[in-house]
Amino acid sequence: MQDYTIERSVEVDVACSVEEVYNLWENLENMPRWIPLVKKVKVLPGAEQLSCWQFGLGAPLLTEWTSRITQRIPMQLIAWESVSGLPNHGSAQFISTDQGCRLRLKLTFNLPGGIVGKLIKGVGVERWLEANLLETLKRFKILIEKEVLRKLVE
């Protein structure tokens, strides 16, 4: 039974500096603020490269995994891979632009093969994932731009 792989890449331009975007994104426990399906992220004490994730609509439609940061280049890149639970890996790239920062998110999920994989593919999960990722980045853009503007006004 062969696994079913979904790979997607989305990006958004943010009217904030690379440093501001990177610093907010780097704190993984912030993720539920702009990703509604991420219910909780907990960085493991004493193992800052590891984090536990809860993802889904709610019980019983929740899945969990532990991720490890595989690469961190300050103000440029954060990459990760799961070490348990739902197999996935990805990266967030931070690119300086004339207007601020372009945030590029790449994700790959390995879903089960067989009947479950066919069912997942049949319900259009790839289109849903791409649309959801784009909405996530738009939500992040709005959140950070409001926070940075609020700090400027104070």
User: What is the CATH number for 59?
Assistant: 3.30.530.20
| Sign of the torsion formed by the C-alpha atoms of 15, 21, 24 and 25 | positive
Query: What digits encode the pLDDT tens for the residues 86-126?
Result: 889 999 999 999 999 999 999 988 766 666 556 556 655 56
Alpha-carbon 139 to chain mean position: 12
Q: Domain range holding 102?
A: 4-153
User: Nearest CA to 67 among 57, 76, 77, 54?
Assistant: 54
Quote the number of domains for the chain: 1
CA atoms of 8 and 130, how far apart (whole Å): 6
8 Å CB contact between 21 and 94: yes
The pLDDT-based confidence of 127 (bands split at 50, 70, 90) is low
Q: Specify the pLDDT at position 148.
A: 84
- For strand 61-73 and strand 77-85, is the pairing parallel, antiparallel, or unpaired? antiparallel
